[in-house]
Structure 1
Amino acid sequence: MIRIYAGLALWYLVLSLITFGVYWWDKRAAIHGQWRVRERTLHLLALLGGWPGGWLARHLLRHKSRKPSFRLMFWLTVLANLVLPAALWWGRWG
């Protein structure tokens, strides 16, 4: 069981680092008028487990923090990341 949790923690850490990097890249591109990362890509990374990195990047880089539709979708990905494991846990032990 500990292996599962360690693997999950590693997954979230790696995806969070990648997501933070992609947010940084997109912020840099926005400043320099270059090619931008699709919002769909940022949401997919968050949904796959990179939401902590996305959350941190939004605050530290002040990126994607104003657009209401982006914020709503971001928080829905966070909710999915919290509800799905809880539902799986309850299904297994409930």
Structure 2
Amino acid sequence: MSDSGARYNPGRPSGGQIQQPRLKLLVFVALCALPLYGSLALWLRGVSVIALAGYGLVSVVAFFLYWADKRKARADTWRTPENVLHAVELAGGWPGGLLAQQVFRHKTRKVSFQLVFWLIVLLHQVFWIDQLFLGAHLLAFF
């Protein structure tokens, strides 16, 4: 029996469909609201377009890294290290990573991976709350 056959889970829905797409879209939009608003605000104030462009570009990179890792997992070949995925998420690619997790149904059940992923998302949310509503004073403590 191949390793991929050992990972088959008959209790998990099959097919390429995203489960509960409306709810997941709502969560995705809600999570992206602060970074998008903050990035747009920086750009419109003439500070920098880097945050806005960065989230978009790095999210595309994250999406394709997840896609490549899923393909490699199915082919039982060398995989993208999790720390690489997390580094790209931390650099602003978490929206692309979140989207890829749902589209490819990849890395959604590994608790240790999800814990780090959601801590990264939380870190980004706290950063933008601080920037937008707390006058960037919270991060001054670090």
- RMSD across aligned positions (CA): 1.9
**Alignment partner, residue 38 of structure 1:** 81
- Larger mean CA deviation between 82-91 and 61-70 belongs to 82-91
Residues 1-94 of structure 1: matches in 2 within 5 Å? 1=42, 2=44, 3-4=46-47, 6-89=49-132, 90-92=134-136
| 8 A Cα contact 2:130 2:137, kept in partner | no
Q: What is the DSSP-based 3-state SS (H/G/I as helix, E as strand, rest coil) of the residue aligned with 1:91?
A: coil
- Normalising by structure 1, we get a TM-score of 0.89
Structure-2 change in CA distance of 1:93 and 1:30 (3 Å): closer
TM-score, normalisation: structure 2: 0.60
Unaligned 5+ runs, structure 2: 1-41
Structure 1 residue matching 2:79: 3-state secondary structure: coil
Amino acid at match of 1:69: S
Does structure 1 conserve the Cα–Cα contact (< 8 Å) formed by 2:55 and 2:92? yes
Instruction: Give 1 or 2: higher helix fraction.
Output: 1
C-alpha deviation, 1:59, in angstroms: 0.2
Q: How many residues align?
A: 94
Query: Which structure is higher in RCO with an 8 Å CA cutoff and minimum separation 6?
Result: 1
